[in-house]
């Protein structure tokens, strides 16, 4: 087995625990994963509307090999299924996106959203409780005031650590269509929520009103040709955001130019290659995710078969294009039949913007090193992951003779897909969601 540290600077080690729910139901399918800005916390949302937050263990001198493992910190029900009686529509409780707010005090804040409603959650620790009330006894029963002869000041006594999550804000009734993304502004006061046709700007303090800043709904819905698939604020410029479309284009907008940002200031699109035209050209060019690089100079987009890195200064073509699983090009018809062609894969930058990662099928995920131009395919599975072993690179055989350890395209399991991944903002720790399992991989420590 080759040591692939020669190909990539990181070696990833399987987790000593794979975090998963004990019984696999539809509700347990993980629908989003996100590290917070320090990497101390990792949040996951699932189809059942629950959020589970993991916290990294403090490094311990007595157990150095358990350096920085993630354990469950808090679990709460973020969204419940709802019914819109006016339209006879059920609103799914599935968590589409979670975004953390940077930490400003002892509590943690995150935004979670389903198809229609965004909520701000406060996660705080309670390790003390007041004791010695005058009017209530320890059981909480009220005392007879006539029996009280003296007054005392309640004191705080230590208690077992309790982590509680409370919904501090509910941002609702602003979206007719399904929300696909949320993004917190670098000003830490506003955020945007995006549905198929509109982008709305909110103030974190104000829940009863939002500003619509992008509206691509045509006057006549019959003329609809594209929808918005994702939007994100620039990491440093609080007036800039980008949104991607189902037609494979990205628009960069400046909120200082006008109140309504329908006119973009930059438009990124690569012309279609006519030789690859097929029935499914429109589907595979639809962008499923857009992410700014940490340094704010690049944009990354994911469509069905590729990941592209764009330079914000160059609009007519991407800087780099990476083939994720081009061997699927010949199978688009069957992928259309089983709906896999509509899967929305996400993509993610590492902390230094030198490596990008995205998921694929058969529980494979791919990493591309932008500097060395090397790439690797890894697999998130229990069978192949022994604790503290090194992940073996995988290879898909496209035709001809299949080597040992290679897997042929026809053997790929399309029900095992990795749509959601996240990378620790500073270290080489990645979290990969494979259906209802969460894998956390860390790089090798010498």
Partner 1 sequence: MEVDRRAMECAVDAQSLISISLMKIHNSRTQRGGIKLHKNLLVSYVLRNARQVYIKEKYAEIYRMQQYEEVMAVCNEIQELDPLDLGAEDGDEEEQGRAACCGEESRPAGSREPEQPYYRSCCMEAPPGSPCDQFAPNGGGGGGSHCNKTTVLDLDTHVVTTVENGFLHQDCCCAAPQCAPGAAARKRKVDSGGCAPDAEEPSDFTAARKRLKREDCSNPDCNPDYTDTSNISNLISIFGSGFSGLLSRQADLEQVCSKQALASLGAWTRAIVAF
Q: Which of 355, 245, 260, 350 is nearest to 301 (CA)?
A: 245
Taking CB under 8 A as the criterion, which residues in 148-177 touch partner 1? 176-177
Task: Show the site string, 209-238: x = touches partner 1 by CB under 8 A, - = not.
Answer: --------x--xxxxxxxx-x---------
Instruction: State the nearest-atom distance from the C-beta of 205 to partner 1, in Å.
Output: 27
Cα 97 to Cα 295: distance, rounded to the nearest angstrom: 22
Which one of 17-25, 137-145, 331-339, 346-354 is the stretch in contact with partner 1 (CB under 8 A)?
A: 331-339
40 Cβ partners below 8 Å, 6+ apart? 55, 56
Tell which one of 4, 211, 327, 336 touches partner 1 (CB under 8 A). Answer: 336
Burial label for 298, CB within 10 Å (0-12, 13-18, 19+), is: buried
Instruction: State the nearest-atom distance from the C-beta of 304 to partner 1, in Å.
Output: 10
Task: Show the site string, 75-114: x = touches partner 1 by CB under 8 A, - = not.
Answer: -----------xxxxxxx-x--------------------
Q: Considering the complex, state which of residue 220 and residue 446 has its C-beta at the smaller distance from partner 1.
A: 220
Instruction: State the nearest-atom distance from the C-beta of 332 to partner 1, in Å.
Output: 10
Please check whether residue 192 is in contact with residue 175, taking contact to mean a CB–CB distance below 8 angstroms: no
Instruction: State the nearest-atom distance from the C-beta of 223 to partner 1, in Å.
Output: 5
Please check whether residue 115 is in contact with residue 177, taking contact to mean a CB–CB distance below 8 angstroms: no
Element holding 77 (H helix, E strand): strand 70-77
Q: Is 383 in the site for partner 1 (CB under 8 A)?
A: no
Q: Which of 219, 30, 194, 29 is nearest to 111 (CA)?
A: 194
Q: Is 181 in the site for partner 1 (CB under 8 A)?
A: no
Strand partners, 347: 358
Instruction: State the nearest-atom distance from the C-beta of 190 to partner 1, in Å.
Output: 24
Tell which one of 69, 282, 353, 375 touches partner 1 (CB under 8 A). Answer: 282
Q: Considering the complex, state which of residue 43 and residue 287 has its C-beta at the smaller distance from partner 1.
A: 287
Q: Which of 333, 369, 328, 375 is nearest to 352 (CA)?
A: 369
Cα 348 to Cα 358: distance, rounded to the nearest angstrom: 7
Instruction: State the nearest-atom distance from the C-beta of 279 to partner 1, in Å.
Output: 5
What value, to the nearest 5°, has the Cα angle with vertex 179 and ends 175 and 181? Answer: 130
Residues at the interface with partner 1 (CB under 8 A): 86-92, 94, 115, 176-178, 180, 196-197, 217, 220-227, 229, 246, 278-283, 286, 333, 336-337, 339, 342
């Amino acid at each position: 087995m080759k040591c692939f540290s020669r190909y990539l600077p990181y070696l990833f080690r399987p987790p000593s625990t794979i975090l998963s729910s004990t019984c696999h139901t539809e509700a347990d399918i993980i629908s989003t994963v996100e590290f917070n800005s320090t990497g101390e916390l990792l949040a996951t949302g699932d189809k059942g509307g629950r959020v589970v937050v993991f916290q990294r263990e403090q490094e311990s001198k007595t157990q150095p090999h358990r350096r920085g493992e993630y354990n469950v910190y808090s679990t709460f029900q973020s969204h419940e299924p709802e019914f819109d009686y006016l339209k006879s529509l059920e609103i799914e409780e599935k968590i589409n996106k979670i975004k953390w707010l940077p930490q400003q005090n002892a509590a943690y804040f995150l935004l979670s959203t389903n198809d229609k409603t965004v909520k701000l959650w406060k996660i705080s620790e309670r390790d003390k409780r007041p004791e010695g009330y005058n009017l209530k006894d320890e059981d909480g029963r009220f005392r007879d005031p006539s029996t009280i002869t003296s007054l005392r000041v309640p004191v705080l006594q230590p208690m077992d650590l309790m982590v509680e999550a409370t919904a501090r804000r509910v941002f609702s009734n602003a979206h007719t269509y399904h929300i696909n993304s949320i993004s917190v502004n670098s000003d830490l006061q506003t955020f945007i929520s995006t549905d198929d046709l509109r982008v709305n700007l909110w103030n974190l303090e104000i829940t009863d009103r939002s500003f619509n800043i992008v509206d691509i709904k045509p006057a006549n819905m019959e003329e609809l040709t594209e929808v918005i698939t994702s939007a994100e604020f620039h990491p440093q410029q609080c007036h800039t955001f980008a949104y991607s479309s189902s037609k494979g284009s990205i628009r960069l907008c400046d909120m200082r130019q006008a109140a309504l940002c329908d006119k973009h200031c930059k438009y990124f699109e690569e012309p279609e290659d006519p030789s690859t035209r097929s029935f499914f050209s429109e589907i595979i060019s639809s962008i499923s995710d857009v992410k700014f690089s940490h340094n704010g100079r690049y944009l990354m987009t994911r469509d069905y078969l590729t990941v592209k890195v764009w330079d914000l200064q160059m609009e007519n073509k991407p800087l780099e294009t990476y083939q994720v699983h081009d061997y699927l090009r010949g199978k688009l018809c069957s992928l259309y039949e089983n709906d896999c062609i509509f899967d929305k894969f996400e993509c993610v930058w590492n902390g230094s913007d030198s490596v990008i990662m995205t998921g694929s099928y058969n529980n494979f995920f791919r990493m591309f090193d932008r500097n060395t131009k090397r790439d690797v395919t890894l697999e998130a599975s229990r069978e192949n992951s022994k604790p503290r072993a090194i992940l073996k690179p995988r290879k898909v055989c496209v035709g001809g003779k299949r080597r040992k350890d290679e897997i042929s395209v026809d053997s790929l399991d399309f029900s095992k897909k990795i749509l959601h991944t996240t990378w620790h903002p500073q270290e080489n720790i990645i979290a990969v969601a494979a259906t209802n399992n969460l894998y956390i991989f860390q790089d090798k420590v010498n």
